[in-house]
Amino acid sequence: MLFKSLRVRASQGTQYITDLRKAVPNGFRGRPVIAGTPCEEGCTACRDACPTGAIQLAPLALDLGRCVFCSECVEACPADKIAFTPDPRMGARSKEDLVVREGAPAPPLLAASAELTRLFGRSLKLRQVSAGGCNGCEMELNAVANVNFDLQRYGIEWVASPRHADGLVLTGPLTRTMRDAVRLAWEAMPDPRFVIAVGACAISGGLYDGAPGVDRGSHPGERPRAFPDFLDEVAPVLFVPGCPPHPLTFIQAILDLLRIR
């Protein structure tokens, strides 16, 4: 048995990514860029092709909070204005910062929070709750703790109980049937605490915005529901876009937020 174990050890080698802040995944459909070249007159092809309404025209803007990275817009555009790059760095502090604009050269830098850095910079415990997630986000969040990404090296770990957690990591579009459980988990967390919204579903509803089983709270013009909009109430400190986000998108956003170098 020992020799078999040693053979595995030898085959395993060294697997961890040495610098998670600089790693770029080969072939990944990540952060889009929009060229400054003019659109064809009256063309709405990219907006029409988008399954989540992530695109606004004149000037062209792509909301990463809604984008599912299907690249239908790239296929549809006759002017090659939109391109997806392998860059995983897309996390943002606000929904506004998730919008990629025409001709903008680089994404806005994610500003670190001095307060969160002071509280959690050396130890951060996260509780993940899925509320309608398809297991894409959940598997990628599990992967941040595998031997390749090894986020534990920074003292950042998943915990089993919300009572042990500093941060609540939400995935999924927030289903009606999970509404009470999500609130209970949040209420079980001790202060200081915060929320991270992961994936297009959690950030905006994504492909499931307006789906019959989804209840994100009251929408403008609708009859107010018994429960207010949970995300508005808890105001996530971090939005991690993707469908699902690459582990590096999540990791780089957290490291930036906590100014971990």
Partner 1 sequence: MTSVVLHALPLDQLAQLDPEPWRADLLDRVEQGARPVTLYGTPAPTGAEVFVTAVLEEGPGRLHLSRTLVTRAVGYPELTTTIPALHCFERELHEQHGVRFVGHPWLKPIRFEGGDRAAMNGYPFYKIEGKEVHEVAVGPIHAGVIEPGSFRFMCLGEQVYHLEIHLGYQHRGVEALLLRGDARKLTPLVETIAGDTSVAHAWAYCAALERLAAIELPLEIEAARGVALELERIAMHLAGLAGLAADVGFLQGATTYGRLRTTAINTSMLLCGSRFGRGALRPGGNPLALDGPRLDTVRRALSLLEADLPIINDCFLSARTVQHRLQGVGALTETVARELGLVGMSARACGVPLDQRAAGPGIYGVVPVVPCTEPSGDCWARARLRVAELDASLRWVRGALDRHPAWQAARARLLALAPSHLVIAVAEGWRGEVVHCLETDAQGGLRHYKVQDPSLRNWMGLALAVRGNDISDFPICNKSFDLSYCGNDL
Shortest distance, position 109 Cβ to partner 1, whole Å: 25
Among 23, 47, 56, 71, binds partner 1 (CB under 8 A): 71
The piece of 45-53, 93-101, 108-116, 233-241 that touches partner 1 (CB under 8 A) is: 45-53
Reduce the DSSP state of residue 167 to 3 states and report it: strand
What string of H, E and C letters represents the secondary structure of 189-208?
CCCCCEEEEEHHHHHHCHHH
* Range list of β-strands (E), the chain: 32-34, 55-56, 61-63, 82-84, 99-101, 124-130, 156-158, 167-171, 194-198, 238-240
Cα–Cα distance, 56 to 161 (Å, whole number): 41
Is there binding between residue 15 and partner 1 (CB under 8 A)?
yes
Stretch 161-190 residues interacting with partner 1 (CB under 8 A): 161, 172-173, 175-178, 181, 185
Cα–Cα distance, 147 to 118 (Å, whole number): 27
For the chain, give percent helix, strand, coil, nearest 5. 30, 15, 50
Among 23, 104, 158, 218, binds partner 1 (CB under 8 A): 158
Shortest distance, position 36 Cβ to partner 1, whole Å: 24
Pick the closest to residue 170 from 141, 212, 208 (CA basis). Answer: 141
Among 62, 90, 92, 143, binds partner 1 (CB under 8 A): 143
Residue 205 or residue 236: which is nearer to partner 1 going by CB?
205
Stretch 73-132 residues interacting with partner 1 (CB under 8 A): 75, 84, 128-132
Shortest distance, position 104 Cβ to partner 1, whole Å: 22
Tell me the Cα Rg of the chain: 20
Stretch 197-216 residues interacting with partner 1 (CB under 8 A): 207-208, 211-214
Is there binding between residue 44 and partner 1 (CB under 8 A)?
no
In this structure, what DSSP letter does residue 214 have? B
Among 35, 56, 72, 234, binds partner 1 (CB under 8 A): 72
Show the tokens assigned to 81: 């204005």
Residue whose entry in the numeric block shows the structure tokens 């994404």: 107
Pick the closest to residue 66 from 238, 205, 173 (CA basis). Answer: 205
Residue 69 or residue 120: which is nearer to partner 1 going by CB?
69
The residues binding partner 1 (CB under 8 A) are 1, 4-5, 7-9, 11-12, 15, 25-29, 49, 51-52, 68-72, 75, 84, 128-143, 146-148, 158, 160-161, 172-173, 175-178, 181, 185, 207-208, 211-214, 243-244, 246
